[in-house]
Chain A
Amino acid sequence: MEALSDFWRRFRRRRTAVFGLALMAVIVLLAALGPMVVPGSPWEIVGTPFTFPFVDPAHPLGTDVLGRDILRGILNGARVSLLVGLSAAAAALTIGIVIGACAGYFRGWLDDLLMRFTDVFQTIPNFLFAFVLVAMFGTSLVNVVIAIALVSWPPIARLVRAETLSLREREFVQSCIVIGMGEGSIIFRQILPNAMPPVIVMSSIMVATAILTEAGLSFLGLGDPNVMSWGTMIGIGRSALRTAWYMAAIPGVCILLTVLALNLVGEGLNDALNPHLKNR
């Protein structure tokens, strides 16, 4: 409990972090409750196409090229974007942590093998790789999440490996080895909990990157065409950019705010968890 209040004290020291957290809370709330407040499918054609925002009270944020309500799209898109961001980041973390921990703990040939494997993934430009994966396996939401996870785990693996390499030489780990603790227990119960702070900081950024990647894929027409995400909305609005800029701008601002919020939270976490900054 004391640790938690201590954490919160350090986190809120940075005002922008608190702002980011509040912003994030608003976005999560919108995603959770929005579709209940404004019901109906975001794909349904409900109004006159090309209605600007604040013109028709029935469609406060206007309608898109085919007369679909933009507010509905934004609220549903928030769910999709957060879902994609969180699940892709979770999947990437799982892969990255397992590979990084094994490489760092066992070292030797396994380390070499896993790190060369990581190198292979790291040398291919992330976005292009995701693009190819989705093009190959089809444009469903699950495939998009898998593709994003597959391209974003290498930095996590590198980070966890580095932490593990240094932690495994510490006395408390050595003593665990001496008392005969199993390797799995040592890795998961002793090393990883201590390696977590930088990973947690990185994962908030990773969620943001995943949201951006999904938006990029959807913008290029390789998102799931049955799911209204913010990227899909920008893609739809792209061709009308010169005549109806709001179609791309509104979801664009949403992505901007979400990514900003996640980055600010990430910085706050860094302050709160980084031991070097503890006593600042």
Chain B
Amino acid sequence: MKIKNIGLTRRGLARSLVVPFAVLALGPLATAHAEPVHGGSMTMSLDPQPSILVSALNSSSPVYVVSSKIFDGLVSYDENFNLIPRLAESWEVSDDGLTITFHLREGVTFHDGEPMTSEDVAYTFMEILKQRHPRGKSTFQFLEAVETPDDLTAVFKFSTASPYVMRALAGAESPIMPKHVYDGTDVMKNPANTAPIGTGPFKFGEYERGSHIILTRNENYWDGDKPYLDQLVIRLISDSASRAAALESGEVQYGAQYVIPLSDVARMDANPQLEVSTDGWGYNTSVNYMDFNLRRDQWQDVRVRQAIVHAIDKDFLVDNVWHGFATPADGPITNRQADFHTTDVPHYDFDLDKAAALLDEAGYPVKEDGKRFSMTIDYSPSGDTYSQTAEILKQNLAKIGVEATLRAADGPTYVRRIWTDNDFDVNIFAASNIADPVIGLHRFYWSDNIKKGVAYSNGAGYASEEMDEILEAAQVEVNLEKRKELYKKMQQLAMTDLSTYPIVYINWFSVYDKSVKGLNQTALGVYENFANVYLED
């Protein structure tokens, strides 16, 4: 395990030291090569296969990957969450935060030739995102109306300031949809959901289920002579070993997130033709959490919860389960959201003696059979990392006399058991912080989000008046400094109450052929629209 760490550090060093040097030394040569080239077809892998191709209606990751190429949003974000103009050229936010005015780009058309206007923007937010998007309902809950004084101006009116909305406007999360295609139809059943019509750099070509999706170049894209690629082929490959082989053989040139087994990353990294990069994940920042089901008797005493989290060996998990592609977590907000992240929270180091002492104190002594109590561990079925985390936790708990039983389940069973039946003791899962805590984090800690049947809501059943007050204040706070302060308090409280416990911050990565350029330039990563991507010959 040591060797792997050295490998990563070495690469990190190489990136920080060698790159500036190389740029200095080879300056003229490098610029000569930096000129983007038109043409060519890029193949990327995707799994699992998306049910529809419009991310306004379905927020699962593969849908986002495809939809974001076909639909642009009002803006995009760089790695520091600065806004990059897309369909909106400029915008103004009123001082009270209740009005946001967007000035739209002129001459943008949908793939069917119809011009994109403020009517489309109003329809998208009011009729689709606010009604149909799984997160949009809460993100845009205070959005009262979108006024359209002229074709290129959209004025968003809020009943309560919603500063986080400015972070939910990228094409993946809030794609601008064609009103003329959807208005007056059954939105969920519209045929355009599987053959989308957007304004993005790529047009829908064909979708062969179980095989591939083909997107073709939008000749009339607004951004100069972009996109550079003639065609984007998205191959649906469900087996991770096959994806690794496809990347190595050059059959596939780009893949992201769960693309290859973590144990294969070192080998990919050593391949001179391939690049492994953790850039471009600012927007899609996953955290590996563990929920305590607070409805259960044995978790009522916080010392018992403390004991369990003291049995989590985060360093071992980072080295052996995540192969270095994770960071031990501090609070519930990932370190990639640098403005809200804080290390100033209670920490629970791996300490089995302390865990045992806490259980003694809490009235769970070791009984005659050598055990204190039994519990079950449920874990997300999406990938080996969660089952391995559960296996390791089980071993460590056994050492302090807590007998844990693992419960495996397929996807739908798992979701029903955790979020509908609430039938679990602890649950190990991952969720994205997305771009703003209101969008990605409130769902786990706000008592209003104890919703039976809503996957990835407050499954712990955590209800704290103090927490609710902080979250409700942070949601409407316009002043960034005050918001930061509120989220610091929020994280300290979360780490004291231990309902949803962050284990590690996951560092997703992408693997791509070195001939592919222009990837990972923004915080959107794989959810970017790929207008800047080109193939070097």
Q: Contact residues of A with B, CB < 8 Å?
A: 43-45, 48-50, 65-67, 135-136, 138-139, 221-226, 236, 238-244
Contacts and interface: CB of A to CB of B under 8 A. Distances in A.
A222 B395 contact: no
A84 to B, nearest CB: 16
Contacts of B387: 221, 225
B181 to A, nearest CB: 38
A242 B264 contact: yes
B392 A240 contact: no
Interface string B478-490: 0000000000000
B395 A225 contact: no
Contacts of B141: none
Nearest to A222: B408
B394 A43 contact: yes
Contact of A45 (B244, B261, B395): B395
Contacts of B263: 50, 65, 239-240, 243-244
A132 to B, nearest CB: 10
Contacts of B296: none
A240 B391 CA distance: 17
Given A66-B320, A67-B320, A241-B241, A135 B391 contact: no
A67 B4 CA distance: 14
Contacts of B262: 239
B208 interface: no
20 contacts: A44-B395, A50-B263, A65-B320, A66-B388, A66-B392, A135-B409, A135-B413, A138-B409, A139-B407, A139-B408, A225-B387, A226-B405, A239-B261, A239-B263, A239-B384, A240-B264, A242-B244, A242-B267, A243-B263, A243-B264
B1 A139 contact: no
Interface string B217-249: 000000000000000000000001100110000
B407 A138 contact: yes
Contacts of B395: 43-45
B410 interface: yes
Interface of B: 1, 240-241, 244-245, 261-264, 266-267, 320-321, 381, 384, 387-388, 390-392, 394-395, 405-410, 413
Contact of B261 (A43, A135, A223, A240): A240
Given A66-B320, A221-B410, A243-B267, 18 more contacts: A44-B395, A49-B320, A66-B391, A66-B392, A135-B409, A135-B413, A136-B413, A221-B387, A223-B408, A225-B387, A225-B391, A225-B406, A225-B408, A226-B405, A238-B241, A240-B263, A242-B264, A242-B267
Contacts of A223: 408
Nearest to B317: A66
Majority SS of interface residues in chain A? loop
A241 B239 CA distance: 12
A205 B266 CA distance: 42
Contacts of B413: 135-136
Contacts of A50: 263
A143 B392 CA distance: 24
Contacts of B409: 135, 138-139
A204 B413 CA distance: 34
Given A49-B320, A221-B381, A243-B267, A135 B241 contact: no
A258 B388 CA distance: 28
A241 B487 CA distance: 43
A222 B410 contact: yes
B144 to A, nearest CB: 45
A48 B321 CA distance: 13
Given A67-B320, A225-B406, A243-B264, A48 B1 contact: yes
A279 to B, nearest CB: 52
Contacts of A222: 408, 410
Nearest to B390: A225
Contacts of A45: 392, 395
A55 to B, nearest CB: 14
Given A48-B1, A67-B320, A238-B241, A226 B267 contact: no
A243 B245 CA distance: 12
